Structure 1
C-alpha cells in the first residue's frame, strides 16, 4: 500500500513588520527623550542665621519684585523680557564675568522669575551667584 506523503510547506517568518515596529519605537524614544546637561552654575546660598553681610567693591545686583519686574543695580527695566534683562546685565558688567552676582528677590516673587535671572546669569558666564536673604528679627 502506497501512502501519499503530505507536503509540508516551509514556515517563513516575515521580520519586516517586526523591524518596522522597532524603528517606530526607536524614533518615538528619540523624540521624547530629553538630554539634560549638568548645571554649570555654582550657587552660594547664604545662611539666614545672622551671618554679617559682606561688602564687595564691585557686584551686580538684580532685584526681582513681587510682580516680576526686574532692576539691575537699582535701574528698573521697562519690560519683563529675558532679552532686555540680559542686555541690562551685559551693560552693567561690561563683560566682566568674575563679578559677584547677587539676586535679591521679593518673598512673593514667583520661582520662575528668580530662575529666569539665574538662567541668564549662567548663559552670560557668571559662576559666583548669591541669593540675598534677610536676617529674621528675634523676638525674645
Structure 2
C-alpha cells in the first residue's frame, strides 16, 4: 500500500511580478526626486541699464542671486546666505586668483541686502574687477 509519493510533481517557481513592481516604483521615485543641475534654466529677470557696457573676453566668475536671495557660484549652490559661507564658496571657486573678473547676476526682484552681501563678500576677499549684469532698457517707442 502506497500512501504518497516521496517527491512533488510541480516544480517551484519564483513570481517576478512583485519584484518588477517594486523596481518600477523605485525607478519612478528616483526619477521624480532627482534634481537636474542646469543653472542655465534658472530664470532671472535682470535689471535694465541704458549703457551697453560689455564684459571682458576672459572667463569671469559668475555669482548669481535669485529672486529669493539664494546664491549660486558658477553651477554650485551656496547652502547658507551669510557672508562667511559665501566667502568660502568664492574661495573654493576662484582659488588664489583675485584679479579675475566677477560678474554678479542678480534678479531684479532679489532682495537688495542679498546683492550687497555678495558685493561685500567679494570686496572682503579682494576682488577688484566687479561687474553687474543687466539687460538693455527698452527704448521710448518700444514701451
Could you tell me the TM-score, scaled by structure 2's length?
Answer: 0.59
**What are the ranges of 5 or more consecutive residues in structure 2 without an aligned counterpart?**
1-47
The residue aligned with 1:103 is 104
1:65 aligns with 2:88: no
**Per-residue CA shift, 1:83-114, capped at 9, x if unaligned?**
11111100111110101011111111111111
The residue aligned with 2:55 is 54
The residue aligned with 2:117 is 116
Question: Displaced runs of 4+ in structure 1, greater than 6 A?
Answer: none
Show the 5 A alignment for 1:1-140. 48-49=49-50, 51=52, 53-138=54-139, 139=142
Separation of aligned partners in 1, 2:82 and 2:124:
15
Q: CA RMSD in A?
A: 2.0
SS of the residue corresponding to residue 79 of structure 1 reads coil
Please say if residues 67 and 108 of structure 2, whose CA atoms lie closer than 8 Å, have aligned partners that are also in contact: yes
**Per-residue CA shift, 1:40-96, capped at 9, x if unaligned?**
xxxxxxx82362633532211111111110000122122222211111100111110
Separation of aligned partners in 2, 1:82 and 1:120:
6
The residue aligned with 2:29 is none
- Which has the higher mean CA deviation after the structures are superposed, 87-96 or 53-62? 53-62
Separation of aligned partners in 2, 1:70 and 1:88:
10
Greater Rg over alpha carbons, structure: 1
Please say if residues 58 and 101 of structure 2, whose CA atoms lie closer than 8 Å, have aligned partners that are also in contact: no
